[in-house]
Structure 1
């Protein structure tokens, strides 16, 4: 740890007091930021858990419909149900205490092309719709997870900064300030003793 450079005398004490005031004020501001981030992070974690459960539910439903379709039409029935239609993802953004993160995600899955062959049975039709819902749920889950991670990372960084101020920097400033105060007090005491000694000698001379 580097040594603090403190000007001698009262100028150094003034500088230390100002630095200590700034450090304490900064720590207080970071504490408030920490509380806001913590509350928001908890909200985002709950949203992420809910989105994950929704995605699992939609995926389980889709897989169930596929199994029914295969039981009804055999494995070859899946060939006619496969389509390659790219989904379109749109993400809206927001920020929490300066942290930019996804607010929501919407995923559009195009309808089937009328020229494509129809699925072999209605179970596979339901499977296609269910998988479209699963894709939308996956997008929402991904956005919720990204938001929770972004705010969580900033929460950890802020917590480390508060810890560094509270446990290291502020105590260090306080220690140095106490040492400077003690030195100035000692100097003032010695000056007072010297002035008294000079005054006494002058009085004796007269």
Structure 2
């Protein structure tokens, strides 16, 4: 991080003070944002975990029904069963502290057409319905995972920016401001000394009034 460029004198000190105030306010705002993001991220992580568990349960149920159906009629039963129907997804978006992420998702799995072949046994009928539920659960899990990742990435970025401000930029500005204060104080002291010397050389006190001894 580059050192702050400061013009000499009072103008430089004023600029440093303003820059330091801006940096401190920015750090405070980032700290507030980080707290909100962390709270929201924790909520989204829990939602992701719950959605993932539901998806695994639904998928497990579908696979069990499928195995039962295949045990009853053999793998040839799949030749007359079509599980490949196109699901339709609709995602609603939300925003957390400026981070856009999926809010919820609607997944519609179309039913089997009347002229489609009927599964060979009841277990395959259950498997068909269970796989539709698994697809809906997978869509909800994907949306929850995407949301938690988006907010989590912003947590990392915000934490890095806050660390850079508090550990690097603010201390550098404070150091530069302290140096500017010392330099200005030294300059004013030197100016006062030069005025006294000049006044002494002319026989005039430093305050500019004539010396009573010269009257």
TM-score, normalization by structure 1: 0.96
1:162-177 equivalences under 5 Å are 162-177=162-177
Cα deviation, 1:82-129, whole Å, max 9, x if unaligned, reads 233100011001100011100011110000011111101000000000
Cα deviation, 1:163-204, whole Å, max 9, x if unaligned, reads 111111111111111111110111111122222333444258
| 1:32 and 2:32 correspond | yes
- Greater shift in the superposed pair: 2-11 or 122-131: 2-11
Q: Distance in 2 between matches of 1:101 and 1:56?
A: 23
Q: Counterpart in 2 of 1:13?
A: 13
Residue segments in structure 1 that go unaligned for 5+ positions in a row = none
1:112-123 equivalences under 5 Å are 112-123=112-123
- Greater shift in the superposed pair: 76-85 or 64-73: 76-85
Q: SS of 1:6's equivalent?
A: coil
Q: Distance in 1 between matches of 2:24 and 2:43?
A: 29
Number of matched pairs: 206
TM-score, normalization by structure 2: 0.92
Cα deviation, 1:52-103, whole Å, max 9, x if unaligned, reads 0000000000000001101111111122222331000110011000111000
Residue segments in structure 2 that go unaligned for 5+ positions in a row = 205-210
Q: Counterpart in 2 of 1:96?
A: 96
Q: SS of 2:75's equivalent?
A: coil
Cα deviation, 1:128-147, whole Å, max 9, x if unaligned, reads 00000000000000000000
Q: Counterpart in 1 of 2:44?
A: 44
Q: SS of 2:89's equivalent?
A: strand
Cα deviation, 1:2-38, whole Å, max 9, x if unaligned, reads 3432111000000000000000000100000000000
Q: Counterpart in 1 of 2:83?
A: 83
Q: Distance in 1 between matches of 2:4 and 2:95?
A: 37
- Greater shift in the superposed pair: 57-66 or 185-194: 185-194
User: Which protein is bigger by CA-based radius of gyration?
Assistant: 2
What is the RMSD of the two structures over their aligned residues, measured on CA atoms? 1.4
Q: Counterpart in 1 of 2:71?
A: 71
Q: Counterpart in 2 of 1:145?
A: 145
| 1:136 and 2:118 correspond | no
Q: Distance in 2 between matches of 1:2 and 1:89?
A: 49
